[in-house]
Amino acid sequence: METSIVDVVIGMQYGDEGKGKIANQMAASGEYDYVVRFNGGGNAGHTIYLNGEKIVTHLVPCGVLHGIPSVIGNGCVINTQKLFDELEYLERFGFDTSILKIAENAHIITQDHIDEDSKDTKIGTTRTGNGPCYRDKFARTGLRAKDVPELAPYLVDMHSLIHSSPKSFLAEGAQGYWLDVDFGDYPYVTSSNTGVGAVLNNGFNYKQVRNVIGVIKCYSTYVGAKGYQKDDERFEMLREIGQEYGATTGRPRQIDWLNLDEVITACQMNGVTKLIINKMDVLRQVDSSWNYYKNNILISCANEDTFVSNIWKEVGMVLPGTFIQFQGQLH
């Protein structure tokens, strides 16, 4: 019996890896019937360049930009006012937002959630209300999409959508694996699960996962309260060249060299079949920057060719058969 399939796009670092750009490229292929956002909420920020226009989305899946029916899954949390503002923003570009669907059991962010989140001074949250909303979800005191009359035209049952007939889905993740609430650097994490397991919580079964596409940058970035960036003027250059500022908050991202141990661990935990390494063109513009950490030791490569060769070798030894693709900023 035929079944639906799902390809999953996940960040393997601390978010901001370029997942939105990769998902946008894949959606443009015409291969998928639906695009699904499976975790997070308005704390995500996906920057996409389409026909020369810079478009930033926070909640709406990228399929809407290509006329593909798209779903905000039940693993997400939704600020309804921000959602309608984003739909209006996309409509100004000429996109048909009527093809958006929302899982009827997705949870709703209230003003009380936002007010509570705004008091954070420890974690470095985006203050969008996600954490308190997820807390109320698991405390079984939350408000769900099907309880909000304004969302009625968008509602969908995930089981019926996925399992009533075979379809092809692209699942678009938010944040990155090292911000996962269970496996990240707790408490400096997001409030949701960010790995491939989160996809299954949106109604898919494990047999339907066809490919897992891991996305990283060729250096590391982090936005939050913990100290991450070391004192090195090259990091300041990378920030300006790579425009390393948060798409949601505008905060400058802290920068360090690529941590290959973290990348390999994330790939193992998520069963990655393809690894895409972004922003090679940014690293080319900074002298002596072909560096990475392995076994907590900084490895400095003489040139790009050595850097690429080493990445292939190190990843291939642990994850044989994983396809690796190096590319630029995708502007």
Averaged pLDDT in 10-residue chunks for the chain of 331 residues: 92 93 94 97 79 87 96 97 96 96 98 90 80 96 98 98 98 95 94 96 97 96 86 94 83 94 96 95 94 96 96 91 80 41
Single out the catalytic residue among 7, 46, 58, 117: 46
C-alpha span between 288 and 221 (Å, rounded): 18
What is the pLDDT at residue 329?
61
**Cβ atoms < 10 Å from Cβ of 122:** 11
41 Cβ contact list (under 8 Å, min separation 6): 58, 59, 76, 77, 78, 79, 109, 128, 129, 130, 133, 174
What is the pLDDT at residue 43?
79
C-alpha span between 37 and 47 (Å, rounded): 15
Q: What three-state secondary structure class fits 138?
A: helix
Query: Can you list the domains of the chain with their CATH numbers?
Result: 5-216 (3.40.440.10), 218-326 (no CATH)
Single out the catalytic residue among 16, 117, 136, 256: 16
Question: Token pair of 127, please?
Answer: 């203050």
Is 117 assigned a catalytic role? no
What is the pLDDT at residue 237?
95
Length of the chain: 331
C-alpha span between 72 and 75 (Å, rounded): 8
What is the pLDDT at residue 331?
41
Is 46 assigned a catalytic role? yes
322 Cβ contact list (under 8 Å, min separation 6): 267, 272, 273, 274, 275, 315, 316
| Residue of 36, 40, 18, 19 whose CA lies nearest to 181 | 40
